[in-house]
Amino acid sequence: MQSTGLLRAGALLYARDLKLAFRRWEQVTQPVVFFLMVTTLFPLALSPDTAQLREVAAGIVWVAALLSALLALEFMFRSDYEDGTLEQLVLSGQPLWWLSLVKAMAHWTVSGLPLVVASPLVAASLAVPAAAQPTVMVSLLLGTGILSFLGAVGAGLTLGVRRGSVLLSLLVLPLTMPALIFGARAVDMAIMGDSSRGPLLLLAAMFILSLTLGPFATSAALKVSME
Amino acid sequence: MWRGDRHVLRNVSIDVLAGEVVHVAGPNGTGKTTLLRVLAGLLPAEEGYVGWRGRPIRSERDDFNAEMAYLGHENALKGDLTSFENLHYSIGVRRHLDGPEIDATLDHLGILRCRDLPARVLSAGQRRRLAMSRIMLLGASLWVLDEPFTNLDVAGVALFSGLIGDHVAAGGMAILAAHQGLNVPGTTPRIVELN
């Protein structure tokens, strides 16, 4: 009997999570719908004046994206925990940090990636100039990634807690503040016509940090929650 | 082990040899599930240790996991996946297997006609049979089964007992918790009574 290699196990888990997500369509679309709703309400509430919108656009895009992605975070491990699948994954003989990494990636694909894809539309509605669009997308790509990998730690830790969603936000939001600051700054600089290289590089550094260290912390958090 | 403010499982010692069935019995709340979770390595023992082939499972984690199949209270099934998909993904993470192998096991457990139905529409007994298919397909030598007969009909209980009998007859081991008496063909289960 041949045991499954790391990559094949990861691919199977990733495919399974995507399949499950697409069979729960309403849950998948929730973050991106929220994102679009919030950001289209701002021009209506503030003023259609493009100069004024441009000034606040960076902040609105980033805050809305962060909160939308946070909405879905709670569901990363919840159903696997409740139906006993998580126990089986822990006992599967595959390293838990690897499985956590794959699950966070799958979660990002269904909750973070749609925000990145929808962002040009959102940016256009907030009068962000076309030249700044790539910066919006890149910054959100990194930002939602950071939230998924950091958020996985919080999602793992709060599994055993009843109504853990408030606690989860309190745990994860402060950790994402640096990403919010530099992400919004990058978008703002791009809108002003400056180079956004500096804040984007810092954001990329944070992304790599959360990608490499997050899964180990998540696996430790999951083990604590299982006891 | 402490569960809440109750001290359960004091001075419990169990040895399992190849070809043996150990039946953990005892009233509700005496720690049967806790004991099985400790044995499966899901909970660390507060004192003492769990060994596999003479070595503590803490240091032999991967070898132990590869040779152990655990059936918990929950069936670990995804309601939105079909029976076939459930097995395909959950076994696939551990070992290579092909479609016909899954079908043969489903047939053996009498749920082949549920192959392409989402697990959420199956009855509780059918879900238990599906969970048991996973145990069989894992190909592990040690089975740790927590109340395997829950929700089964009379034929199902006989079928599961037969499977456990076949497994130990082939040199496997089984530790199971159950309220009711156990009748495994071909062997006499060793009873460990908790109180």
What are the sequence ranges of the domains in chain B?
2-16+27-154+162-193
Contact criterion met (CB below 8 Å) for B136 and B105: yes
Provide the residue type at A46 as one letter: L
Nearest CA in chain A to B62: A93
Contact criterion met (CB below 8 Å) for B137 and B87: yes
Whether the complex's predicted ipTM is more than 0.90 is answered with no
**Contact flag B78-A226 (C-beta cutoff 8 Å):** no
CA atoms within 13 A on the CB side of B189: 23
pTM of the full structure: 0.90
Contact criterion met (CB below 8 Å) for A85 and B90: yes
Per CATH, the homologous superfamily of domain B2-16+27-154+162-193 is P-loop containing nucleotide triphosphate hydrolases (3.40.50.300)
**Of the partner residues B42, B92, B94, the one whose CB lies closest to the CB of residue A93:** B94
Residues of chain A with pLDDT > 90, as a percent, come to 52
For B35-56, what is each residue's pLDDT tens digit?
888 888 888 887 778 888 878 8
For B12-27, what is each residue's pLDDT tens digit?
788 888 888 888 888 8
What pLDDT is stored for residue A5 in this prediction? 84
The residues near A191 (Cβ < 8 Å, ≥ 6 apart) are A54, A57, A58, A128, A129, A132
pLDDT grade for B2, boundaries at 50, 70 and 90: low
What pLDDT is stored for residue A184 in this prediction? 92
Nearest CA in chain B to A17: B89
Give yes or no for residue B4 having a pLDDT over 80.
Answer: no
B95: chain A residues, CB-CB within 8 Å: 1-4
Site of tokens 């592990």: B140
The residues near A64 (Cβ < 8 Å, ≥ 6 apart) are A34, A35, A38, A39, A122
Min distance A20 CA to chain B CA atoms (Å): 6
